[in-house]
Amino acid sequence: MLRSSHAFAPSVARRRLFSQASSVRPRHAAQTRSALLAASAAVAAGSVWYATRDVLHNDAAADAKDVAPKSGVVSGVSPADGSLSTLVWGSNKNRTLSPDAEATESIRTPAVADWLRDVALRDLSIHDRHAACIDANGDVYQWGEGFFGAAGSASTSGKPVLTLRAKNIARVQTTPDRVFCLSTSGHIYALSSRQADQQLAPGQPTPASTPWWGTGWLWGEEENVDFAQIAPSEKLGRGERFVSISAGRDHLLALTNNGRTFAHPINLKANDYGQLGLRRVDVPNLSAAAAAHARTQLELTPRSVADPYARSTPAVRRTPEASPATPAVDDSSIRFSDRLFELPALKGVQVGQIATGARTSFARTTQGRVLGWGANEFGQIGLGGNVTIEAITVPTEVVLWRSTPATMRTTCLDVSAGGDLTFFTVERSDGAARPFIDVLACGNGQFGGLGNAQYSNGQGTPVRTKNVSGLLEYSEDTHTMRAIHPHAVAVAPTGHVLLTLDTLREGGPGGAGRDLLVWGANQDFQLGNGKRGSLAAPWALHAPNGERVILGTRRADVKSLQGKLWRRGVLVEQCAVAGWGNSVVYWRISSVN
């Protein structure tokens, strides 16, 4: 919900007019009176225009004059007819915000994406040159210049293309070359990020229910889009299934409902910084001379282990020992690896949440403790300023209670990572006073992404993020002060952050929604304030008319991306996504059951 008013504008104009008129010399009184009358008429006309013009509020209809022709983006905030609208801003160089070929390359302030009107999604993920989403039916759509390529974009006008259907997908993750999808039944699928690599010859069967060529044509599941299923290397327990996935640049983590953590190598760089959590994997041998279902053993050794002296000066550098040659395999195919491998170091550890940065991995246990591993040159694992190791190859506990009294109990509630930044949402309590919430950040804050009002490119000890830590609000139910929890933290690979405060939880009957705060890198207007300067501390996002952007929750009639009504009275909520130099606030379906 957005609120503001600019009714003071006419009075400001009158004051300026009086100041100008009073400074005119007497001998030009006639000219002055004429000018004054003309100016007064202009001011009156302007006042009438301002009072009668259509001011675009959250509950006001978008005027036709505000629609950019053929751009797919409407300036303003939200229409008054009750339809659902998606807000977008930032870089649109690769047509990930507005697929229309004639759309502008940058959107400086929040605007409505007209091509997503009345659409609520299950999930949305935006990468550098391609994007993917899941509509209400559970089908996956892809778009962007990286997906279509030069030839495809001209023939399809850039509209999202249905690529994976009838799988009831709930979550999607994008990487430079892949799109990973998690179904409600716990199956994980992989798609190429390029349309040209998804083409199949007519009549050729696709892997409908297995990671290999199956018999989908017998059951009417034949498709013209190639995809692969990623299965665990060992059989899961009775009733066990995957419930969460998180993808970095070259690796993927998956979590089961029993708290077991699995890893998947996307390519041969999946463990360059130890982010995979294991070294030995086996992949299919896809060579023509290989026997059916033959497999190749791979040793994915971290670079810091293969060459410990890589960062040494030439005077003291030692020649590394020769490592075993890696078998020749093609890691560009979606069938490079078809398995998920359980992390040996986390066997027996009950994990409640997984998160990945570009080259890092995190696991939050059900007891509220955090383990991290992977790249650490910017301190993004959060192990402290004294740990200067380039890579952490074994899951290591992150100490989040430094600089706190011995009686203070710290429990991690959430982990969010992206690029080389990591955020921990923790609850602190000493048993005497009411608990409070802190948001701790570490990693590369060169563009202010840490949110501590400083620009530091290396922060190994997690620091408090300003304006969102230690906040309290009055509870209408208990008539006491309660801590304000962050509802969600979205960290972009390029260094900006979107944080949603859960100000709706204790808001009572008059609660309007959740406040959205932004900070970090802003070279592509991804903070939505119309400027390019980065922000080193969280600030509330405002619409072009000065209204504060508040994310709401409501019930609405939801359509699929094909324009067909999916269901009426669906509970939906606005969700913020930090993309590659851009940002999106879309309506997300709260429950797909």
Q: Is residue 431 part of a domain?
A: yes
At residue 167, the pLDDT reads: 95
Rounded Cα gap, residues 494 and 90, in angstroms:
12
Rounded Cα gap, residues 162 and 169, in angstroms:
13
Please give the average per-residue pLDDT across 267-296, as a whole number. 87
**For residue 12, what are the CA distances in angstroms to 15, 43, 85, 330, 418?**
5, 10, 34, 68, 45
* Lowest-confidence region among 21-25, 324-328, 554-558, 561-565: 21-25
Whether the per-residue pLDDT at 377 is higher than 70: the answer is yes
Read off the pLDDT of residues 509-533 as tens digits, 9 standing for 90 and up.
556 789 999 999 999 999 999 999 9
DSSP code of residue 306: H
Backbone angles phi, psi at 31, to 5 degrees: -60, -35
Q: Is residue 210 part of a domain?
A: no
Read off the pLDDT of residues 60-81 as tens digits, 9 standing for 90 and up.
333 333 333 334 444 445 555 6
DSSP code of residue 106: E
The distance in angstroms from the start CA to the end CA of the chain is: 27
> Helix or strand or coil: residue 50?
helix
Rounded Cα gap, residues 549 and 552, in angstroms:
10
Sheet holding 161-164, edge to edge: 123-126, 131-134, 140-143, 161-164
Q: Is residue 523 part of a domain?
A: yes
- Average model confidence (pLDDT) across the chain: 82
Burial class of residue 29 in the structure, from the number of CB atoms within 10 Å of its CB (0-12 exposed, 13-18 middle, 19+ buried): exposed
Nearest Cα residue to 581 out of 543, 537, 534: 534
Q: Is residue 444 part of a domain?
A: yes
Residues facing 229 on adjacent strands? 189
Cβ neighbors of 256 (< 8 A, separation 6 or more) are 186, 236, 240, 241, 242, 243, 262
**At CB < 8 A and 24+ separation, what contacts does 309-317 make?**
311/390
Strands 228-232 and 339-342, bridge-based pairing: parallel
> Helix or strand or coil: residue 552?
coil
Tell me the whole-structure pTM to 2 decimals.
Answer: 0.83
Please give the average per-residue pLDDT across 126-146, as a whole number. 96
Q: Is residue 477 part of a domain?
A: yes
Q: Is residue 67 part of a domain?
A: no
Q: Domain count for the chain, please give it.
A: 1
Which of 318-322, 364-368, 549-553 ranks highest by mean pLDDT?
Answer: 364-368
Strands 370-375 and 228-232, bridge-based pairing: unpaired
Cβ neighbors of 11 (< 8 A, separation 6 or more) are none
Read off the pLDDT of residues 286-332 as tens digits, 9 standing for 90 and up.
776 666 678 899 999 999 888 887 777 777 666 666 656 666 788 99
Nearest Cα residue to 212 out of 157, 282, 286: 286
At 38, which helix (H) or strand (E)?
Answer: helix 29-52
At residue 88, the pLDDT reads: 95
Q: What is the largest CA-CA distance in the chain?
A: 105
Sheet holding 339-342, edge to edge: 169-174, 178-183, 188-192, 228-232, 339-342, 261-265, 251-256, 242-247
Estimate the share of the chain in helix, then strand, then coil, as percent rounded to the nearest 5. Answer: 15, 35, 50
Q: What is the pLDDT confidence band of residue 479, given thresholds at 50, 70 and 90?
A: confident
At residue 388, the pLDDT reads: 83
- Six-digit token string for 333: 């195919």
Does the CA dihedral 217-219-222-228 come out positive or negative? negative
Rounded Cα gap, residues 399 and 424, in angstroms:
11
- Six-digit token string for 374: 């992977």
Q: Give the domain CATH number at 432.
A: 2.130.10.30
Q: Is residue 281 part of a domain?
A: no
Read off the pLDDT of residues 230-262 as tens digits, 9 standing for 90 and up.
999 999 999 999 999 999 999 999 999 999 999
Read off the pLDDT of residues 438-464 as tens digits, 9 standing for 90 and up.
999 999 999 999 999 999 999 999 999
Please, are residues 351 and 415 in contact by the beta-carbon 8 Å criterion?
no
- Six-digit token string for 222: 């034949």
Whether the per-residue pLDDT at 107 is higher than 90: the answer is yes
- Six-digit token string for 154: 């001209």
- Six-digit token string for 319: 């020649």
Q: Please tell me the number of Cα atoms within 13 Å of 253 on its side-chain side.
A: 31
> Helix or strand or coil: residue 140?
strand
Cβ neighbors of 318 (< 8 A, separation 6 or more) are 309, 312
> Helix or strand or coil: residue 90?
strand
Q: Return the beta strands (E) in 257-400 as ranges.
A: 261-265, 280-284, 295-299, 339-342, 351-356, 360-365, 370-375, 391-398
At residue 57, the pLDDT reads: 37
Task: Please report where in the chains the tokens 């002296």 appear, as a residue.
Answer: 309
Q: What is the pLDDT confidence band of residue 138, given thresholds at 50, 70 and 90?
A: very high
Q: Is residue 36 part of a domain?
A: no
Domain that holds residue 544: 400-551
Rounded Cα gap, residues 102 and 139, in angstroms:
27
The three-point CA angle 334-339-345 to 5° equals: 130
